[in-house]
Amino acid sequence: MKNKVFALIDCNAFYVSCERVFNPKLNNQPVVALSNNDGCIIARSKEAKALGIKMGVPLFKVRDIIKKEKVHVFSSNYTLYGDMSRRVMNIIAEFTNDIEIYSIDEAFIGLDGVPGDIEKYGHKIRKTVLQHTGIPVSIGIANTKTLAKVANHIAKDDISFLGVCSLLKFKNIDKLLSSVAVGEVWGIGRQLSKKLNMHGIYNVQQLKNIEDYRIRKMMSINGLKTVTELRGVSCLPLEEVRATRKSCCTSRSFGRSLQELEDIQQAVAIFSRRAAERIRSEKLLASNVSVFLRTSPFDKKNKYYFNSSSIHLSVSTNDTIEIVKAASRITSQIFKLGYLYQKAGVLLSGFYNEGEEPVDLFSTNYKIRDNLMETIDSINNRFGGDTIKVASEQHLGTWTQKKEKCSPSYTTNIDTLLVVD
């Protein structure tokens, strides 16, 4: 059988690249993008990386470097990044139907049967995406998804590849693999890395040669899949159809800590509504609602508290009002006075597709609010997500998140369209 061919296309420092598209002055400058609440650094330009700013580091820990080196800082603008992602994926989809959108900035594609030089084809994709969207990407090509990830890593790391690394052209990739640390492999995180290092396994070449039973023992069943893929045997197929989700969580850290049940109830009401809206848009019904609360795990002066609980609904629903009610009941149960709460969240699960849910004999009126929800969704879609809310969301703003340096939504809001002089 002929070998499969996979490519992984990954946008370079995606959020930073999005900002640069609309603000070319940022090119060749150190730039970072922040997580929600302006908490951590989650994207860095290569100039920012060179300054030693690490991925995931809290903003306050690198304030000095940022000031001294005049690093440009952006709050996260998911409206912009989401729209740019859609554009990038659409361009890629013009090259092949075999596409798995893996994350906001990554896609796997299948390249079986592409005639001619596959590496050249990769360069063509790269050039087209850059030309049509302004977003630079790196492409890794190999016989398995895990190796395509490795190849992508090499393409990013070694500029001599010019953004595209195909492992297919190498007779023997062992030398290349011996230069890649195990921790860089897809599926091997901090803990596993540490464990492997303790066993004297540091690079991918070494990992490939460990006996299966040892891999299985150290890394469990998925680890064995990972290593098999590193050996060139494909175990992970392209997943072109997104599986229906198993849970839907909306959670936020508060801009300041909250102590009153009333404030937390308001936040939970908002999270409930957003989660309900999201599952409605996917035509799902939830049969389980859970809520969690916690204080800051970093606050050494005050006592830590975490609690969560859930309610099983005998009639599954995606009705905002039902879900807010359930979440509010849970919140009252798990709330304890005397703590400084820093984060809360609502998690929906136990999904059924609309129309496939079990019906409760004793409930006859559970569908009466369908029309109401439809109307609310269409109004909110048209006039903005927060136009219609539920009453328990009143007095918003006591805990709003930090977002000090957000760029405009250039591509989705007519008022912030770029003007060319």
Partner DNA sequence: TCTGGGGTCCTAGGACCC
Cβ distance to DNA smaller for residue 112 or 299: 299
Closest alpha carbon to 102 in 112, 92, 116: 92
Q: Is residue 397 within the footprint of DNA (CB under 7 A)?
A: no
Cβ distance to DNA smaller for residue 121 or 227: 227
Euclidean distance between CA atoms 75 and 60, whole angstroms = 14
Cβ distance to DNA smaller for residue 128 or 257: 257
Residue 16 burial (10 A CB sphere; 0-12, 13-18, 19+): buried
- Min dist CB 349 to DNA, Å, is 8
Amino acid at 337: L
Q: Is residue 39 within the footprint of DNA (CB under 7 A)?
A: yes
Cβ distance to DNA smaller for residue 85 or 121: 85
Contact 366, 234 (CB under 8 A): no
Contact 308, 292 (CB under 8 A): yes
Q: Which of residues 253-312 bind DNA (CB under 7 A)?
A: 253, 257, 278, 296, 298-299
Q: Is residue 156 within the footprint of DNA (CB under 7 A)?
A: no
- Min dist CB 34 to DNA, Å, is 8
* Residues 217-246, mask of contacts with DNA (x by CB under 7 A): ---xxx--------------------x-xx
Q: Is residue 60 within the footprint of DNA (CB under 7 A)?
A: yes
Euclidean distance between CA atoms 40 and 76, whole angstroms = 10
Give strand ranges (E) for 63-125.
72-74, 99-103, 106-110
Closest alpha carbon to 235 in 144, 119, 341, 297: 144
Q: Indicate which single residue of 19, 47, 100, 105 sits in contact with DNA (rule: CB under 7 A).
A: 105
Q: Indicate which single residue of 96, 128, 251, 409 sits in contact with DNA (rule: CB under 7 A).
A: 251
Euclidean distance between CA atoms 385 and 364, whole angstroms = 31
Q: Hey, what long-range contacts does 210-219 have (CB within 8 A, 24 or more apart)?
A: 218/192, 219/188, 219/192
Euclidean distance between CA atoms 296 and 269, whole angstroms = 21
Cβ distance to DNA smaller for residue 133 or 295: 295
- Min dist CB 299 to DNA, Å, is 7
* Residues 180-219, mask of contacts with DNA (x by CB under 7 A): -----xxxxxxxxx--------------------------
Binding site for DNA (CB under 7 A): 35-37, 39-40, 42, 56, 58-60, 63, 102-106, 149, 185-193, 220-222, 243, 245-253, 257, 278, 296, 298-299, 342-343, 345, 401
